[in-house]
Structure 1
Amino acid sequence: IVSSAKRNELDRLVSQIPGPIDAVICGDDVPRTKPDPALWQAALTRLGVTASEAVVIGDSPSDFTAAQALGMTGAGVLTGGFAADRLQRAGARFVYEDLDDLRRHLGDWLPLPKAA
């Protein structure tokens, strides 16, 4: 989870999310926040992955401006009050109505692991 929010705000929200979370990066962790790519770079470093191995899911143009600076693919959701064309102009490759719509379409473009 990457957010420009302060740690105390983000910790309160993250505590309500079930399941494991591998990394939580907030605005307090970096010298500059979005649209600077420092938040995304910190997440990549913490997770030990490259930009080509990660996907940014966001709801504001600054999410995708930062992601594009690192060469990351972006998927937008229309929950932040921005129109689809605005997210696409900022760099979102895909745009979905909401998180449920995103979940339904993940397999269209994201290689998912096969069930054992």
Structure 2
Amino acid sequence: MTYPTTPVCVSGFLRRAGWNIGPSKDGRAPGRPPNGPVFNDIEAVALAAIAGLGLAQVPHYLAARAIADGRLRTVLADYAVSRGDIWLIRPPASSESPRVRVFATFLTKLIESI
């Protein structure tokens, strides 16, 4: 199987997989991918990719083991987002409990180490 090497190549890859993503046959309306699973959980996205359901952009920590043992393959590495935003919502400092403060410090150090 040939894997996409640039974002433009993704459309050809998806067409070969049976997705109609370009203009419709009459050239007017864009095509749409077939109905399929929709996820609101990044771990589910990673598991779907491991199961062969398609391409996915997931954090390295979710894909590393599957890449190492050959269940996943990295494509478009030159176009990968290096880091996303992670937010911790917490109460104002005046009402923050010591437990929340300790957890926030732990989480900050953990994220910085990745």
Q: Same fold (TM over 0.5)?
A: no
Structure with max Cα Rg = 2
Q: Choose between structure 1 and 2: higher strand proportion.
A: 1
TM-score band w.r.t. shorter chain: under 0.3
TM-score in terms of structure 2 length? 0.28
Q: How does the TM-score come out when normalised to structure 1?
A: 0.27
